[in-house]
Structure 1
């Protein structure tokens, strides 16, 4: 199962790095300048940054694990971006 969301921000690269480095001491993480991947037990979150947004792509084997992975990545992103007054992300199934 797969879902995607976007977070509009001029700080996308900063949040990409912050999220990936946060999880790197707990789970396998890959990070490059514009992309990252966090491999949780429940699923995988892919992140891609450009000048205007951070794109998120979550995959998991079951509905419950997909929702859990979305929740983990979204809650951390919104916590790091609290100054932007971010609202809950809108996830779309692919």
Structure 2
């Protein structure tokens, strides 16, 4: 059992954040458990990966990801999956998340 969870956050400025959050949640839900509330303000979604959790928030200005895992490898795997899929969905904008260094542990 780990002593503490590791966390990192990513943010991308885009007026299309709600659309991307919805696409990510619907896509991830084909393989993992996802909680999605597109009727909230701001929109929220949580993807429950085997390696940790990614909480997503979409505002009118930005898409934010808060990732929690019990290992650095878990953080890296979730970030890689999110980055890959967001890159595919947001190819018109060449959107990329700016990630903070991991904390905790």
TM-score for both structures, normalised by structure 2: 0.84
Question: Aligned partners of 2:13, 2:64: CA distance in 1, in Å?
Answer: 9
Q: Kindly indicate which of the two structures has a greater share of residues assigned to helix.
A: 1
Question: Aligned partners of 1:85, 1:64: CA distance in 2, in Å?
Answer: 26
Match of 1:55 among 59, 64, 77: 64
Give 1:67-78 correspondences, 5 Å limit: 67-78=76-87
Q: Kindly indicate which of the two structures has a greater share of residues assigned to strand.
A: 2
The count of residues paired between Structure 1 and Structure 2 equals 93
* RMSD over equivalenced CA pairs, Å: 1.0
Q: Which has the larger radius of gyration?
A: 2
> After superposition, what is the alpha-carbon deviation per residue over 1:3-25, rounded to whole angstroms, capped at 9, x for unaligned?
00101100000000000000112
> After superposition, what is the alpha-carbon deviation per residue over 1:19-53, rounded to whole angstroms, capped at 9, x for unaligned?
00001121000000200000011111110000010
Structure 2 residue runs without a partner (length 5+)? 1-5
Structure 1 residue runs without a partner (length 5+)? none
Give the superposition deviation at 1:78: 1.3
SS at match of 1:84: coil
Give the superposition deviation at 1:86: 2.1
SS at match of 1:82: coil
Could you tell me which residue of structure 2 aligns to residue 91 of structure 1?
99
Give 1:1-94 correspondences, 5 Å limit: 1-33=6-38, 34-87=43-96, 89-92=97-100, 93-94=102-103
Q: Which runs of 4+ in 1 moved over 3 A?
A: none
